[in-house]
Amino acid sequence: MSHIIVVGGGHAAAQICASLIEAGQGERVVLVSDEAYVPYQRPPLSKSYLKEPEPAPAWIRADSFYTGKGVALRLSSRAMRIDRQACQLHLADGTTLPYEQLVLATGTRARTLPGLEGMGANVHTLRTLDDAARLRQQSQQAEHVLVVGGGFIGLEIAATMALQGKRVTLLESAPRLLARSVSPEVSQFLLAHHRSRGVDIRLDACIERFEGDEQGVKQVWLNGEALPVDMVIVGIGAVPNEELASDAGLLCENGIVVDENMRTSDPQILAIGDCTAFPSHILGRRLRLESIQNANDQARCAAATLLGQTQAYRALPWFWSDQGEVRLQIVGLAQPHHQRVLRGQMHDGKFSVLYFDGEVLAAVESINSPSDHMAARKLVAAGQAVPAEQAQDVSVPLKTFEAQAA
C-alpha cells in the first residue's frame, strides 16, 4: 500500500488525518510527531490551562480516532531528513520510512530573546503542552511576572496572570500593542483595558540588560530603572519550522513555499499550516499565517489534492484571541489603503472596526461583539458593498446587510 506520511502533531496534522480518514484512506497514513501526545488544542495553553486548578489537555481527537481507522501513530519521533530521490523520511531513532506522498505540518517554534542565554531556569516561551505545564507550575510561586512582547500570546498570558493576582509587567518595543495585526483603535482599547486590570504595560520599551544567577533572572534594567522579576515569559513571535524542507532543497521564504493546492516545489511533498508561505488570493502575494482557521482549511485543501480532487486554497482568514474578559475576533486581511469606520463606542467595551475597500467590507476587528464577527464572516466572504454609514449604527445588526449580500 502506498503511504502518506504526515510530519507534525498539531492542528494541521490532526485535520489532514481526519479528512483522509473521512475519505476512507486512514490505513495509508503515518503520523510522525516529535511530541509525546496526539494533537491537542494549543489556544487554551495561554488561557484556561494556566488558571484552572486541574487543567486537562484538550485533545483534538482521542488516540482511538486515529488508530481505530488505521492511522499509524509515531509519537516522540522527530523527522530529521528527507531523501527526495529515494522518497524516504529519516527519523531521529534511525528508522527510515518510505513515502509516496509526504505532508509537512511542522508549524512554528517560539522566537527566543538574545541576552537571556544561560539564564534558563525561570525563562519561558510557550508553544507546547510541556511548555505550558512548566510555566504553570513555576507561576504558582511567582509574584513578579515579566512578559516580553505585546503580541497575542504575550497579552493573553499577561491577562491570565493578572487575573490570578500576579504583578505583571509587559514590555513592548513598538509604540503600540499588536501594531502589525490590529487597528490603532483596538491597540488603544487593549492598552487601556489591560492597564485597568493592573498590567503594567511599557511601550517603546528598550531592555538594557537582565541580571540574575544560576537560579534565573532576578531583575531587568529598563531605561535606567531596575524591575524585580520572579519569572520571564518571552512572547516575541514565532519562526517557521522549515529546515526539514530547506535542507531537502525545497523552496522556502519565511515558510515552506507552496502553491494554491499546497504542493511544495516537489510535487510529491505538500506543506500545510503555520509553516507555509502560500499565495494569498486576497493580497496577490505570498503570505504566512498563524491561525487555527488557516491550519484546518489548508489541511482540507491538501487532503483534496492528495485525493485528486484539486481545489485552489481560497479560504477567508479569521482569528480570535481571548485576553481575560476581552474577546478579540478578526476576519479578513486589513490593508493600508482600506478605510476604517468605527461601529459602536470603545468605552462600552464592545465595538467593531470595519475596513472598507471602496464600498466593499474587506475586514472587521470585533471586541466583545461575536454577532458582528459572525455576520462579518459572511459579508466579507461575499465581497459585497455595505453602506458604511448604516453599518456604523449599532442599533442596526450587521447581519441585516447579510440578506442584501446573499
Return residues touching ligand FAD (CB under 6 A). 7-13, 32-35, 42-43, 45-46, 78-79, 105-108, 126-127, 153, 241, 244, 273-274, 290-292, 295, 319-321
Smallest gap from residue 211 Cβ to ligand FAD (A):
28
Cα-based distances in Å from 123 to 204, 216, 217: 22, 7, 7
Cell of 83: 531523501
Smallest gap from residue 296 Cβ to ligand FAD (A):
8
SS3 content of the chain, % helix, strand, coil (to 5): 30, 30, 40
Cell of 374: 459572525
Q: Which is nearer to ligand FAD, 5 or 386 (CB)?
A: 5
Give the residue carrying C-alpha cell 471602496.
358
Distance CA 378, CA 162 (A): 35
Q: Which is nearer to ligand FAD, 34 or 372 (CB)?
A: 34
Number of Cα atoms under 13 Å in the Cβ half of residue 54: 0
Sheet with 225-228: list strands edge to edge: 207-213, 216-222, 225-228
Smallest gap from residue 15 Cβ to ligand FAD (A):
8
Cell of 338: 482600506
Smallest gap from residue 105 Cβ to ligand FAD (A):
5
Q: Which is nearer to ligand FAD, 40 or 189 (CB)?
A: 40
Exposed/middle/buried for 347, CB within 10 Å: 0-12, 13-18, 19+? exposed
Smallest gap from residue 224 Cβ to ligand FAD (A):
33
Q: Which is nearer to ligand FAD, 48 or 384 (CB)?
A: 48
Which helix (H) or strand (E) segment is 34 a member of? none
Q: Which is nearer to ligand FAD, 172 or 274 (CB)?
A: 274
Question: By the 8 A CB rule, do 73 and 66 touch?
Answer: yes
Cross-strand partners of 112: none
Q: Which is nearer to ligand FAD, 37 or 221 (CB)?
A: 37
Cell of 45: 495553553
Q: Which is nearer to ligand FAD, 291 or 305 (CB)?
A: 291
Question: By the 8 A CB rule, do 190 and 203 touch?
Answer: no
Q: Which is nearer to ligand FAD, 104 or 199 (CB)?
A: 104
Q: Which is nearer to ligand FAD, 259 or 290 (CB)?
A: 290
β-bridge pairing 256-257 and 96-98? unpaired
Q: Which is nearer to ligand FAD, 78 or 167 (CB)?
A: 78
Smallest gap from residue 214 Cβ to ligand FAD (A):
28
CB under 8 Å to 128, separation ≥6 — which residues? Answer: 35, 45
Choose among 144, 124, 139, 118: nearest CA to 55: 139
Sheet with 360-367: list strands edge to edge: 318-323, 326-332, 360-367, 350-357, 339-345
Smallest gap from residue 222 Cβ to ligand FAD (A):
25
Choose among 59, 61, 57: nearest CA to 17: 61
Q: Which is nearer to ligand FAD, 80 or 222 (CB)?
A: 80
Question: By the 8 A CB rule, do 167 and 144 touch?
Answer: yes
Give the residue carrying C-alpha cell 461575536.
370
Smallest gap from residue 166 Cβ to ligand FAD (A):
18
Smallest gap from residue 274 Cβ to ligand FAD (A):
4
Smallest gap from residue 297 Cβ to ligand FAD (A):
11
Smallest gap from residue 390 Cβ to ligand FAD (A):
30
Rounded to the nearest 5°, which phi and psi values hold at 115? 105, -15
